[in-house]
Amino acid sequence: MESPAFGPFQSEVFYKECCYHMSHKFKLAVGTTALAIISIVGLRDTGVFVQDHNTTLYSGSELKFAVEEQANIVDSNDRGYIVQKGNAKVTVPKEKILVTESKPQYYTVKKNAILKKDGKVVRNLFIGETLQTVKHYPNTVAVNTEDGLFGSVENKFIEPIEGPHMTPAKVKQNLKLENANGVYQLAKNQSVNVVSYKDGLFIILDEEGKDFQIDPNYLDFGEGGVKAVQRAVIQKQAPVKKIAEPVAIAPKVDGAKAQQVIDSAFSKMGSPYVWGATGDGGYDCSGLVYAIYVNELGISLPRTSSAQSQVGAQVDRSQLQPGDLIFFNTMGKGVSHVGIYIGDDTFIHANSGSGRVKQNKLSEKYYNSRFVNATRVL
């Protein structure tokens, strides 16, 4: 099972692990869309300034915000966040603030409900389904579903998934971060979740919710994204170790086992998507992998997609072979979905949006932008 997923449904929320086993500093019920995720800010959100900001009020007085000062966000518009300080409210460019706390970005469906748009039924919503917040209203929430649909649902049918606000960013190069929490190995272009900014460093979370500090120079928030000021205090932190760029050559695939995997995956095409299942009436995405690789082939693998992504030899995307496992960040919060690569840019996975096991192309815009890594276990 995995974290909730957005886009052609990859919602495998495993509550113990799903969204993030948080460290003692951060508590999160569930675990992040890659850079494409819509991050909606509601009233009374909180952030931290990553750049100084000065502005002149209508009265002629100057209002100043310093780096690492708390930002009390009351609204947002096309020009930036509307921040309140004292009685004054001013607009601050979004690149100067990292949002750290916000209204729930995600909800889970607690009772069978109906998704509506303009008064018309879009489709039924099912218990356990994860929804992405677009906008809050008094009695409803406008949401995106994991299969890319938009509409509104009544508050009484859903419950918020609480936790710190996570802002997705991509790592610019291969890195190895180390602190008392352990080691966090990062690959170039890997998506990470940024939750805070302190002492000139961003704080990110790994797949288990452990926090690590990283120099802003190593993160890319995309066009119009956060841009932190560089500060000398960074030098006081544990050094960030750079890993050599060349990707290690993965071992050769066992062709016979790969064919077994492909044949088994094809035999399960059309099977229903069932959250938490490994073949008893259906599969979730990591359950499909577990059923084939563990139950049928006897290969040792953990149960969830985030844990599965750490097992086996890492494979460069350009070197994918049939039988490799490919992982996606569909929630902006680390690995949350897994598929079985079968060759020709195609993979088979249990897709909660369509409610069945199906094929998709890795080059499709949704999956291409959310690809995290691939492993070889055969």
Residue positions annotated with a catalytic role: 285, 337, 349
| CA–CA gap between residue 3 and residue 10 (Å, rounded) | 8
Neighbours of 356 (CB within 10 A): 16
Q: Which two tokens stand for residue 302?
A: 């953990």
Q: Which two tokens stand for residue 178?
A: 């180390």
CA-to-CA separations, 194 to 106, 108, 130, 296, 367, in angstroms, rounded: 17, 23, 21, 38, 21
Q: Nearest Cα to 14, choosing from 255, 270, 334, 322?
A: 334
3-state class percentages of the chain: helix first, strand second, coil last, to nearest 5: 15, 40, 50
Neighbours of 11 (CB within 10 A): 31
Q: 140 near 154, Cβ under 8 Å?
A: yes
| CA–CA gap between residue 159 and residue 161 (Å, rounded) | 7
